[in-house]
Amino acid sequence: MDKYYVYILYSQEGKAFYIGQSMNVDIRLEQHLDSSFPDAWTSRYKDWNVLISIECDTRQQALKIESHLKKMKNKTYYENLTRYPEMRTRLVSRFAAVPGSSR
């Protein structure tokens, strides 16, 4: 089964966060850094670093977590995810697929 990851990037230059999901965070980070997508929002800065990466069981789970994180828009919340592993564990559990459901 393929693994998906939700990641939070941080740019010191822009004091900005970016949240995305991918099957390979390292390759995706390189794409952000080398402006593989020149019109993308992340092309504004060239100093992106991975703040955190969260492993998910399915793409659907990754998309739900990504959406949740984007809605939070909270620097302290993102930083706390790096400090407290139990927060990541609860987040993954919260959006885990329920067998037999279509959620």
Band (101; pLDDT cuts 50, 70, 90): low
Question: Is 100 within a domain?
Answer: no
Would 103 be classed as within a structural domain?
no
Is 101 domain-assigned? no
Domain CATH code at residue 57: 3.40.1440
> How many CA atoms within 13 Å lie on the side-chain side of 44?
11
The rounded radius of gyration (Å) of the Cα atoms in the chain is 14
Domain that holds residue 12: 4-94
Q: Structure pTM?
A: 0.90
Residue 98: enclosing H or E segment and its boundaries? Answer: none
Q: What is the pLDDT of residues 2-52, one digit of tens each?
A: 899 999 999 999 999 999 999 999 999 999 999 888 999 999 999 999 999
Whether 99 is covered by a domain: the verdict is no
Domain count, the chain: 1
**The residue to which tokens 């609860």 are assigned:** 90
Is 27 contained in some domain? yes
Q: CB–CB of 41/19 below 8 Å?
A: no
